Structure 1
Amino acid sequence: MKLSKLFIAGLAIFGFTACSEETEIGSSKIDTGNVISVSTYIPGTRAMDKTSFVEGDVLSLYSCLTTGNYGNSFTGNFMNNVEVTRTSGGDWTYSPLMAWPTDANEHLSFIAYYPKNTSSTPMEYSYTVNDNFTEQNDPLWCTIKDASINDRNGTAVNGNESDAAFEATSGALNLKFKHMLSKVNVKVKLASNYSGITCKLNDLTLNDVYSSGKFIIANDLSSGYWSTSASKSFTLTSGAEDVLSSTEYDVAEMLMIPQALSDLGAYFYIRYTHTLAEGGEKTVTKTIYIPNKWEIGKVYNYVINLSLDVNTISLSTEVNNWDSTENPNIGTKAADPVDLGLSVKWASYDFGTVSPYDDGPRYDFNDSKRFTFTYTWGSNWRIPTYKEWNELISKCKITSMEKNGKTIYVVEGTNGNKIYFPSSLYWVPKIDRGEPYHASISEKKVNSNAAYGAEKRKHPIRPVYTK
């Protein structure tokens, strides 16, 4: 679970006081001392998902002003696609400033999107699937009905989790974002190990799925649905040289538009080559139709179980909730501690993700110095020391490979165990003459990061396990 606070146009910064002047917008008197401030909540997420906001992120914020309760007809008559931008200092800014109506009978209903909405209407959000899965956005949405100066949560249709301390002091509008897409993970494995037999995956494609459409929010703001258009096929892997075994092989993690898969007859096409006991090779192809549908806010984990007999190839499916109230820490669960034959065990993936192939959130140097994993991963995890990074880099074998068009660094321990690093740079919490340091996986050394402003640069965090 990732929680962040947005201070939009802080009162002290802009010099407003409690006795500020009233202005009139339409029939509504506005007290400029009650500038609208916002806190946000992003549900527990998984690899490739939005887990925190960073400099340059832009939200689209809409607000509909009504006298009395919202009447199921939303117009951006108060705020219309206002761009709210995160600055380098962590604040959020927008212009012109807006404030709560002072009449408690005047209500504001809100729609918010991330990233910025390019549609001409506040009720629709257009999206096209990027076939470079590592560059996909994770679009989010939120709605709140009938908020007022005395009840700034109103009817929080998506929920109203927030930072309780911030809420108590500011009376902020609390936006709990939800995902609007489906997440699809695909793995391949052999149904069993075959003695003396090797198997290589040649090609795997996802065919005949809707690749663009509009997410449409219902008039009562309580739900959303998709209107789809344009079909496409996606290459998940091509020319892979990996030798498959009964261990699951990660092929692709992607965000897709929710849809009825039967509409276009969506299917996986796979081609693989295996050796024969009597010598030589055999290439096998198979079309595997995907059952049922993809729903909003669901995670679909597919495992294609290969066999030497094409007739026994099967597809297993596991479906989980993406936005999980039962398990709000779904995306921040502790990694596996991997023994590399060193003084400490290293996490199998970056903090903030659950995949060894995807970057976690990035933090600046000051954040890394005081970072704690106690709440999400437990008290036995911490950031590696300068000495531990040096030990990893000097004693382990470091190579690289390409995965989904991205360079992944493979670190093999003295005992043969491996972990993977999706980034080349990580913070080292050591200060020598006041200078921050970073570990460079690609350069295989620990460097001083003494250049001006270096402490403001952002890198992911890879924890170690000390129990």
Structure 2
Amino acid sequence: MKKLHFILVLAVLGLSARTGFAQEAVDLGLSVKWASCNVGASSTFDVGSYFAWGEVEAKESYWWRNYSMSNTPDYSDMDEILLDKQDPSVLTEYCGSDGKTRLDSADDVACQKWGENWRIPTAEEWTELLENCSWAWTQRASEEGDFKVLIGGFKVTSKKNGNSIYLPASGVWMGVAPVEPSKTGQYWTSSLNSDNPVEAWCFSFFPGGSLGWHTGWPRSIETETLFRSHGLPVRPVTD
């Protein structure tokens, strides 16, 4: 009975049983409300978990050969690198011929982890966020072992009502580790790249400058697609 009561309290408060952090639905005056943190995050500033597009569990590595919607279990490391190997024939779902262009709720990690009121934003909803908010790059010190590192991210403030959310830089998890996790950011949308179904749309940002980590404007979503097998964080929305 005590365990059941604890679970009910978590549900009411919007707490993640795995992290103990309460996610909130932030009203930015847009068509949807945005979560205050990523799926699997322990705080607003935490990147949280990485997921391949359409998968609902985090993994220790991200390859085509361990992507659940791929029939490529025998791929070698070189096969992973050769881009001409990636064509719709390697896919088992969302492959173009099935007519699906947006993730079903069963394949939406936000819905599966947080409940049916939450989902991964569409490409259009990310664009709405981009166009109706001001974006300020910030950095904060974080201790990793014996070292202190600067972790970057954008404070995103609504031009409509002044409310804000924070999007931590995440990088892209390719293979066994994230690439540039504190300097660039990529987040999944629920939208398939219909022109090339081995890819899905993501929202991608870097602060600007020649190396991509100085103050600047984030990259537009329309210019960024990634292979679905890569690992990215998820920032949910609710209607």
What's the TM-score once normalised by structure 2's chain length? 0.52
Q: Is 1:464 aligned to 2:237, yes or no?
A: yes
Q: Which structure: larger Rg? A: 1
Deviation at 1:375, TM superposition (A): 5.5
Provide the rounded CA distance (Å) in 2 between the counterparts of 1:328 and 1:396: 27
Deviation at 1:378, TM superposition (A): 2.5
Q: Which amino acid aligns with 2:117?
A: N
Q: Is 1:355 aligned to 2:50, yes or no?
A: no
* Secondary structure at the counterpart of residue 366 of structure 1: coil
Q: Which amino acid aligns with 1:329?
A: A
Provide the rounded CA distance (Å) in 2 between the counterparts of 1:338 and 1:328: 17
In 2, are the aligned partners of 1:390 and 1:446 still within 8 Å (CA)? yes
Q: Number of residues paired by the alignment? A: 138
Provide the rounded CA distance (Å) in 1 between the counterparts of 2:119 and 2:233: 13
Indicate the residue corresponding to 1:367 in structure 2. 55
Q: Is 1:427 aligned to 2:164, yes or no?
A: no
Deviation at 1:363, TM superposition (A): 0.8
Q: Which has the higher helix share?
A: 2
Provide the rounded CA distance (Å) in 1 between the counterparts of 2:138 and 2:111: 33
Report percent identity of matched pairs.
32
Q: Is 1:393 aligned to 2:130, yes or no?
A: yes
In 2, are the aligned partners of 1:332 and 1:353 still within 8 Å (CA)? no
Q: What do the CA deviations read for 1:357-401 (whole angstroms, capped 9, x no partner)?
A: 111111112327412445542321111111111100111111111
Q: Which amino acid aligns with 1:378?
A: G
Indicate the residue corresponding to 2:221 in structure 1. 446
RMSD over aligned Cα atoms: 2.3
Deviation at 1:436, TM superposition (A): 1.2
* Secondary structure at the counterpart of residue 55 of structure 2: helix
What's the TM-score once normalised by structure 1's chain length? 0.28
* Secondary structure at the counterpart of residue 114 of structure 2: coil
Q: What do the CA deviations read for 1:88-137 (whole angstroms, capped 9, x no partner)?
A: xxxxxxxxxxxxxxxxxxxxxxxxxxxxxxxxxxxxxxxxxxxxxxxxxx
Provide the rounded CA distance (Å) in 2 between the counterparts of 1:364 and 1:375: 14
| 1:455–1:403 CA distance, 2 compared to 1 (3 A) | same
Q: Is 1:344 aligned to 2:32, yes or no?
A: yes
Q: Which amino acid aligns with 2:163?
A: N
| 1:375–1:367 CA distance, 2 compared to 1 (3 A) | closer
* Secondary structure at the counterpart of residue 139 of structure 2: strand
Q: Which amino acid aligns with 2:162?
A: G
Deviation at 1:450, TM superposition (A): 5.0
* Secondary structure at the counterpart of residue 343 of structure 1: coil
Q: 2:201 aligns with which of 425, 429, 437?
A: 437
Q: What do the CA deviations read for 1:151-171 (whole angstroms, capped 9, x no partner)?
A: xxxxxxxxxxxxxxxxxxxxx
Q: 2:155 aligns with which of 401, 410, 417?
A: 410
| 1:337–1:388 CA distance, 2 compared to 1 (3 A) | same
In 2, are the aligned partners of 1:398 and 1:412 still within 8 Å (CA)? yes
Indicate the residue corresponding to 1:329 in structure 2. 17
Where do residues 146-161 of structure 1 align in structure 2 (5 Å cutoff)? none
* Secondary structure at the counterpart of residue 436 of structure 1: strand
Provide the rounded CA distance (Å) in 2 between the counterparts of 1:344 and 1:328: 21
Q: What do the CA deviations read for 1:2-45 (whole angstroms, capped 9, x no partner)?
A: xxxxxxxxxxxxxxxxxxxxxxxxxxxxxxxxxxxxxxxxxxxx
In 2, are the aligned partners of 1:333 and 1:377 still within 8 Å (CA)? no
In 2, are the aligned partners of 1:332 and 1:377 still within 8 Å (CA)? no
Indicate the residue corresponding to 2:5 in structure 1. none
Q: What do the CA deviations read for 1:177-210 (whole angstroms, capped 9, x no partner)?
A: xxxxxxxxxxxxxxxxxxxxxxxxxxxxxxxxxx
Where do residues 69-148 of structure 1 align in structure 2 (5 Å cutoff)? none
In 2, are the aligned partners of 1:358 and 1:422 still within 8 Å (CA)? yes
| 1:364–1:372 CA distance, 2 compared to 1 (3 A) | closer
Q: Which has the higher strand share?
A: 1
Provide the rounded CA distance (Å) in 1 between the counterparts of 2:157 and 2:112: 30
Provide the rounded CA distance (Å) in 2 between the counterparts of 1:416 and 1:400: 17
| 1:338–1:456 CA distance, 2 compared to 1 (3 A) | same
Deviation at 1:332, TM superposition (A): 5.9
Where in structure 1 are there 5+ consecutive unaligned residues? 1-326
Deviation at 1:336, TM superposition (A): 0.6
Higher relative contact order (CA 8 A, sep 6+): 2
Q: Which amino acid aligns with 1:446?
A: I
In 2, are the aligned partners of 1:334 and 1:377 still within 8 Å (CA)? no
